[in-house]
């Protein structure tokens, strides 16, 4: 008997890679997505890669009625993986209510619907952004969380606080919150990957779009940080490694001997790379120089972030296995495939 898993935001970047991993491990997947930042054609690609078409429901999780109705239909699900959220930092500064409403209502409605339908396990997509500007590296899970610079980041911090209060209040639902560092890369098939709408906020899609001629040049946001070459350092992690971590977290939640009310794990590689190192590594992969220019700092950026990976390794028996070259190569292959299709 296959175990049914509800994946909200399963048509998105990290969600779709995780759906593939789940299907490959014989789970039955139900995707709930409002398609606000994704495309339903992803289902064809998932089917092509895995041979299985996941069940799909287009639903707006901001609506408690719609959420209740869809969860009732799938009350035999064993767990929920909640990816569905808006994630553009600049947009969240322009429109904070949209972010608080979407990211927090959808979480609250999901928890309530889980409670009402007896679906007792949840994996939550959190972010390293909850650490703010941490003072010690590598960052361990017990480092204090800080109010984020952006409403987007703050929705992740508040969501974790909601989960803490919720799991303290009752023992039925157990939760694992996964704090992602900087996910990049794409599936080895070259069929799915990140597809930012509009101008990318994040470094990797900006680099690949510049190399593909979609953007004229990359702006490097500041080279006067207290780091080895003056540009900020981040912990980039392959999205397929991230998907594998969700599988491990799910297996832990579904194992009755290991379940805790709420656990939090960093998902990173433990290695930090500067922006200039990323550019050099990309140039080595693509074989061409990248057009870039050093500009002003971007407000809200911190000098250095990289994860302590010890807890995820010890408790989830998970660690990232894909290196920087593989991450960049797969991002670049995906970008080129995408441009050939468009």
Q: What is the set of active-site residues?
A: 152
In whole angstroms, give the CA distance from residue 252 to residue 315: 9
Computed on alpha carbons and rounded to an integer, the radius of gyration of the chain in Å comes to 19
Binding mask 175-194 for ligand UD1 (x = CB under 6 A): -------x------------
- Whichever of 127 and 208 has its CB closer to ligand UD1, that residue is 127
| CA-wise closest residue to 191 among 49, 8, 25, 36 | 49
In the complex, the smallest distance separating the C-beta of residue 200 from ligand UD1, rounded to whole angstroms, is 7
Tell me which residues in 57-96 interact with ligand UD1 (CB under 6 A): 87, 89
The one among 39, 50, 64, 201 contacting ligand UD1 by CB under 6 A: 201
In whole angstroms, give the CA distance from residue 255 to residue 253: 6
Pair type for strands 273-274 and 233-234: antiparallel
Both tokens assigned to 145: 């969380």
Contacting range for ligand UD1; rule: CB under 6 A; set: 25-33, 43-51, 197-205, 249-257: 197-205
Tell me 142's DSSP state. T
Tell me which residues in 273-312 interact with ligand UD1 (CB under 6 A): 275, 298, 300-301
- Whichever of 21 and 155 has its CB closer to ligand UD1, that residue is 155
- DSSP per position, 52-96: -PPEEEE--TT-HHHHHHHHHHTTT--EEEE------HHHHHH-H
Question: According to DSSP H, which parts of 202-263 are helical?
Answer: 203-211, 239-254
- Whichever of 125 and 174 has its CB closer to ligand UD1, that residue is 125
Tell me which residues in 105-134 interact with ligand UD1 (CB under 6 A): 127, 129
In the complex, the smallest distance separating the C-beta of residue 296 from ligand UD1, rounded to whole angstroms, is 10
Phi/psi class of residue 51: alpha, beta or left (left: φ > 0; alpha: ψ in -120 to 50)? left
Contacting range for ligand UD1; rule: CB under 6 A; set: 25-33, 46-54, 202-210, 242-250: 202-210
What is the CA angle 178-265-307, rounded to 5?
Answer: 105
Contacting range for ligand UD1; rule: CB under 6 A; set: 161-169, 201-209, 248-256, 325-333: 201-209
Determine if 146 is a binding residue for ligand UD1 (CB under 6 A): no
Contacting range for ligand UD1; rule: CB under 6 A; set: 64-72, 101-109, 147-155, 158-166: 147-155
Determine if 206 is a binding residue for ligand UD1 (CB under 6 A): yes
| Secondary structure (3-state) at 158 | helix
Binding interface with ligand UD1 (CB under 6 A): 87, 89, 127, 129, 150, 152-153, 182, 201-203, 206, 218-221, 232, 234, 275, 298, 300-301
């Amino acid at each position: 008997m296959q175990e049914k898993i509800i994946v909200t935001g399963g048509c998105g970047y990290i969600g779709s890679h995780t759906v593939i991993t789940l299907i490959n491990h014989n789970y039955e997947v139900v995707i709930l997505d409002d398609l606000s930042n994704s495309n339903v054609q992803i289902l064809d690609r998932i089917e092509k890669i895995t041979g299985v078409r996941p069940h799909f429901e287009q639903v707006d999780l901001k609506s408690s009625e719609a959420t209740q109705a869809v969860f009732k239909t799938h009350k035999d699900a064993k767990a929920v993986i909640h990816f569905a959220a808006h994630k553009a930092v600049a947009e969240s500064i322009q429109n904070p209510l949209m972010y608080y409403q979407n990211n927090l209502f959808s979480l609250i409605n999901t928890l309530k619907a889980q409670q009402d339908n007896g679906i007792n396990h949840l994996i939550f997509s959190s972010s390293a952004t909850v650490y703010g500007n941490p003072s010690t590296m590598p960052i361990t899970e017990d480092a204090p969380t800080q109010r984020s610079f952006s409403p987007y980041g703050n929705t992740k911090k508040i969501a974790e606080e909601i989960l803490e209060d919720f799991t303290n209040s009752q023992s039925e639902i157990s939760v694992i919150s996964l704090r992602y560092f900087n996910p990049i890369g794409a599936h080895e098939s070259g069929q799915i990957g990140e597809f930012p709408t509009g101008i990318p906020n994040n470094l990797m899609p900006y680099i690949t779009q510049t190399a593909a001629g979609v953007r004229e040049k990359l702006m490097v946001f500041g080279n006067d940080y207290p780091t080895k070459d003056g540009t900020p350092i981040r912990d980039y992690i392959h999205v397929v490694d991230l998907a594998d971590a969700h599988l491990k977290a799910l297996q832990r939640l579904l194992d009755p001997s290991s379940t805790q009310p709420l656990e939090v794990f960093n998902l990173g590689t433990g290695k930090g790379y500067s922006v200039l190192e990323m550019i050099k590594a990309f140039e080595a992969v693509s074989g061409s120089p990248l057009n870039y220019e050093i500009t002003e700092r971007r407000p809200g950026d911190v000098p250095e972030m990289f994860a302590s990976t010890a807890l995820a390794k010890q408790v989830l028996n998970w660690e990232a296995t894909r290196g920087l070259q593989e991450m960049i190569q797969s991002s670049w292959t995906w970008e080129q495939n995408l441009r050939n299709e468009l």
